[in-house]
Chain A
Amino acid sequence: MTTVLERPHTPEPAPAAALVDLAIATQGLTKRFRTGQVAVDGIDLDVPRGAVYGFLGPNGSGKTTTIRMLLGLLSADDGEVELLGQPMPGALARVLPRVGALIEGPAFHPYLTGSANLRRLDASDATADPATGGARIAEALARVGLTAAQGKKFRHYSLGMKQRLGLAAALLQPRDLLVLDEPTNGLDPQGTREVRNLIRELASDGTTVLVSSHLLAEIEQVATHVGIMSAGKLLRQGTLAEVLSDGAAVVRIATPDVAEAAALLQGMGLQGVQPDPAREELRARLGDVAAEEVARAVITAGVRLRGLAVERPDLEDLFVALTGEGFDVLQ
């Protein structure tokens, strides 16, 4: 598999991981609710510095609970959290000024204007320079395209504008780490694109971004790393390439000679051969066989070839494979 070459480091667990400079590191992080339900079940989150980490999982899988524990809003029942190398929640007052956050949707005072809400947050930040407050607020508003709406009361904002104001609040100060929980919720396609570009821009400045989402296509476009949660457990974590390489590539051959082709592929040692005579095509898992070998073998054998394609599973296929298909909330 060529993807192996793209790996920045061998995905060996514990000892090697400790050498990587991590912006977020948790060990055995666990949260039980009073009902006895385990919302987060001993997860070891490793978010390297400079990464755009896509934090994925179905609704109710424990993403937001994890994020709340990272930021010291919820106490962990077990396990440890380090943000930017500092222990949380012990170093909360020192670390959080370097962290911008959007947690489970934006929340502001409805009867204050957009800019008055940002002034309120800036006034409560002991590390914010009061002399530059106005300029920083104006810049944050401009960055999310809210300059024209800054004088409107928050309660008159549309869902997308509220989301933008939440992002502006996270950008009031220069940050080393951004934790964005569902940042594109409620945004139109245009706004979604803007947020994606914003994340790319911030990441290129060296900011580490943890972005949770259930919009997999979104994540696939911006993430360098992903972690997939389900029912409180972190099922898979690594660089995007590593995680995607879990799924096996499939070769699809279009041919009227389905039976001959199927026999040929089986003879070459391909697994999971699925002939589909009605549609005049067949599929098989490539395994270690190169696609060009298959193509040559098919033509050499005189099978009439109409088309040959290699399909790699995308994040969505993998996600569904890991977390299950149904609509049911697992917990």
Chain B
Amino acid sequence: MSSSDVLAPAFVAPTRYRGAFGRLYRSEVRLILGRRRNLAMLVVLSIVPLLIGIAVKVSTPRGGDGPQFLGQITGNGLFLVFTALTVGMPLFLPLVVGVVAGDSVAGEAGLGTLRYLLTVPVTRSRVLTVKTLGVLTFTATAVLVVGLMGILAGGILFGLHDVTLLSGDTVSLGNGLLRTLGVIAYVVVALFGLAAGGVFVSTLTENAIAAMATTVGIAVLSLLLDAVPQLSGLHPYLLTHNWLGFGELLRGQVDTGALLSWSGLHLAYAAIFLSLAWARLSTKDVTG
């Protein structure tokens, strides 16, 4: 013991309260869902299935063109969910996820609130964990909004019936709803890779707008590469390649192996991005 220890009143570390992380998480979710910008994005997302539904309802049926599942909507409102997700996946959902993920750390750094969060103190790994969980919660909320609005609008406009699967088998509505839940879960996992990328980008800058644009840029770049046939060897490993793989859940014999390996890829992306984010944030000099 050094002499200063003898003279100093013994340092008593303050008591930590149980459930502290839960409080922080709830505060983070409140912060994200309380922002008008984020609510507006959810409203826009909820309009997507409604618009598709109305468009299909008022137009005369036409075969052939249009996004996946469009033809089946008139037969069963449940397919509105899948159509809306197919339409939302390349643009709307990555945009919404990109905005919230890009804002996560960079937004706080830009405002200067990151330095106050860190001196509360919230440890850096805890900041990263709560920010990631917040983004993931918002992502799930966004996909759920599309799903629920799809079921609602589809049910009202076309009715919900037993589901004729892509393979031709028919399953009960309950089974169909269960598969819908699976589709929603798959989409959330698929978007988690991008969300984690956004959190990583967000640790690199104090400029939230730049982080948002970069995150959306990651998705766009992956979609572009996926569209170049010469790069077909690369395609299976692209972030966005299996984003629409949820169609697999609508077959009589679900290829769980494929679904698991695709989900594994998304989670691998998430793990890599989050490791990078942790390496960056834990050593970052916070000057903002």
Contact = CB atoms under 8 A, between A and B. Distances in A.
Interface of A: 18-22, 25, 49, 68, 71-75, 84-86, 92-99, 101, 103-105, 107-112, 119-121, 123-130, 169, 173
A101 B8 contact: no
A319 to B, nearest CB: 26
A103 B115 CA distance: 8
Contact of A19 (B3, B15, B286): B3
Interface string B111-131: 111011111111100000000
Contact of A75 (B15, B19, B122, B285): B285
A253 to B, nearest CB: 49
Count chain A CB atoms within 10 A of each CB in B3, B119, B123 and give the residue with the most. B119
B119 A75 contact: no
Given A107-B115, A123-B24, A98 B14 contact: yes
A104 B288 CA distance: 9
12 contacts: A19-B7, A68-B115, A72-B118, A73-B115, A94-B13, A94-B14, A101-B119, A107-B111, A107-B116, A108-B116, A124-B24, A127-B17
B7 to A, nearest CB: 5
Contacts of B15: 127
Given A74-B286, A99-B119, A126 B31 contact: no
A282 B122 CA distance: 61
A120 B27 CA distance: 6
B111 A124 contact: no
Given A93-B121, A107-B115, A18 B17 contact: no
A85 B5 contact: yes
Interface string B64-86: 00000000000000000000000
Contacts of A93: 121, 123
B14 A107 contact: no
B23 A120 contact: no
A-B pairs with the 10 shortest C-beta distances?
A: A107-B112, A126-B20, A123-B27, A96-B121, A127-B14, A94-B13, A73-B286, A97-B14, A126-B16, A123-B23
A84 B121 contact: no
B112 to A, nearest CB: 3
Contacts of B115: 68, 73, 103-104, 107
